[in-house]
Amino acid sequence: MDAASLRRRIERLIQMHSEAYRQDIQNPGFSCMRCGWCCRENFIIRITSEISRPSNAISIFPEDIRLIMKSTGMKWDEIAAPDIYSCLSDGEKIWSIGWILRRNDKGECVFYRKNECTIYEYRPMICRCYPFFLGEQRVEVMHCEGLGNKMTKEHAKEMALVLKRYEIKKMRSYIGIINQLGEKLSFANLRALPRGFSGEVFICDGETISRQGL
Ligand code: SF4
Ligand code: SF4
């Protein structure tokens, strides 16, 4: 997707009232059971022949990281890792497209402890949206143990707004990354880093470019 079509999508989203898809959220019904299913690695998602990622490789915004840092006193690197499943090489450097939540040796989000999210009040935006995402045409619903639970109109309205804010933020973040990487960025060039990769990675998150040794 190019920056112009992302900007058009942002415009469409801004014009769209969240009430237009509120019912799509309320109909299936949802309330979080805090089961942690979405925080654990359950399966591998194959995106292209070159890219696959664990189901809980969760992309987060720098703003999410800053909020968790402020609320927990943790350091950036304790919270987030470069997205090693979404990288490209220009022959000189390896570039990573943004950050994901750190995972422990069992493949769980590092904040999932004793069967619950330990940062629930300040969890990333993407976790607040789950199990709903706003697609081009409709609301998409992911697997979730909390689906089918009765949902009030107010709760559905609140989620509809969160979904819209998340989608706009995601599009703006993509535009920032396009500006950072320019012509180097192409979906066809994206690869997961080989297992056991060791070296330096440059992370583009739409705000800054940082360097990290892996
Ligand atoms: S969002 Fe769904 S899958 Fe995730 S913890 Fe809540 S109930 Fe479980
Ligand atoms: S931040 Fe919380 S809700 Fe999000 S994946 Fe981690 S444990 Fe789950």
What pLDDT is recorded for position 73? 98
The residue segments making up the domain with residue 131 are: 3-213
What pLDDT is recorded for position 52? 87
Q: What is the whole-number distance in angstroms between the Cα of residue 20 and the centre of ligand 1?
A: 24
Q: How many domains does the chain have?
A: 1
Whether the full predicted model's pTM is greater than 0.85, yes or no, is yes
Phi, psi of 10 (to 5 degrees): -60, -45
**Beta carbons within 8 Å of 89's beta carbon, 6+ residues apart:** 95, 189, 191
Q: What is the whole-number distance in angstroms between the Cα of residue 49 and the centre of ligand 1?
A: 29
Residue with CA at minimum distance from ligand 1 atom 3: 144
The per-residue pLDDT of the chain, averaged, comes to: 94
Residue 189's SS3 state is helix
Q: What is the whole-number distance in angstroms between the Cα of residue 26 and the centre of ligand 2?
A: 23
Tokens representing residue 81 in the block: 């890792």
Name the pLDDT band for 28 (thresholds 50, 70, 90): very high
Q: Tell me, what DSSP letter sits at residue 188?
A: G
Q: Is 126:58 a contact under the CB 8 Å cutoff?
A: yes
How far is the C-alpha of 145 from the C-alpha of 195, rounded, in Å? 31
Please write the tens of the pLDDT for every residue from 15-24.
999 999 999 9
Element (H, E) at 173: helix 153-181
Quick one: 108 exposed, middle or buried, by C-beta within 10 A (0-12, 13-18, 19+)? Answer: middle
Please write the tens of the pLDDT for every residue from 37-81.
999 998 899 888 878 899 999 999 999 999 999 999 999 999 999
Tokens representing residue 131 in the block: 């199990």
> Which atom, in ligand 2's list, is nearest to the CA of 58?
5
Residue with CA at minimum distance from ligand 1 atom 4: 38
112 strand-pairing partners: 117
